Amino acid sequence: MNKQERVSFVINTLKELYPTIPVPLEHKDPYTLLIAVLLSAQCTDVRVNQITPLLFAKADNPYDMIKMSVEEIKEIIRPCGLSPMKSKGIHGLSHILIDKHGGEVPQSFEFLEELPAVGHKTASVVMSQAFGVPAFPVDTHIHRLMYRWNFTNGKNVVQTEKDAKRIFPEEIWNDLHLQIIWYGREYSPARGWNLEKDIITKTIGRKTVLKAYAKK
């Protein structure tokens, strides 16, 4: 297959596997999504989805969130890890949303990335899933699979994002990045990987990756 055929194979296979795409982080609006994504750093989505109902029962908007102390937030989100940093970030960004944005989450990469504890990936998820703006947030699954599929050199997530945006049509970015995440979890994980189940990598995978797997 040439490169365009490999790209089409990935898109079509993922469409067949995930015609409807579950959203990994449970949320009801841009603010609760922003907080959930922030909590997901170095934490599983399953764990985040267990913790956010406890947090949102007390504060599901910035006005209620700033009524809580950083310490109170930290105690609730402790199971998600990095709780000292995340609790300060949640409290701080809630203040900024009220002071600068009328209590609303801004629909702008620039303004989102100015918020404490919000990096480019978090901003990309919010822009994509909350506002429908084309974005390609790169998590560990996408980074791993883009390398396994020989679509990027694997140097860093910045390069992986650039390559993904160059290779795939912009109109499918928002669905595709979620489809790749689910595929990575279910068929092409970092650990316990069974190539026989991983039809995409088995078909178009980077030769060095397939050789390394065969040696195991």
Catalytic positions: 121, 139
* Half-sphere exposure (Cβ direction) of 55: Cα atoms closer than 13 Å: 36
- First-last CA distance in the chain: 26
Coil, strand or helix at 30? helix
Burial class (CB in 10 A: 0-12, 13-18, 19+), 33: buried
Closest-CA residue to 101 (of 118, 76, 125) = 118
The dihedrals phi and psi of 115, each to the nearest 5 degrees, come to -75, 145
- Residue 84 in contact with residue 116, Cβ under 8 Å? no
- Of 17, 5, 42, nearest to 183 by C-alpha is 17
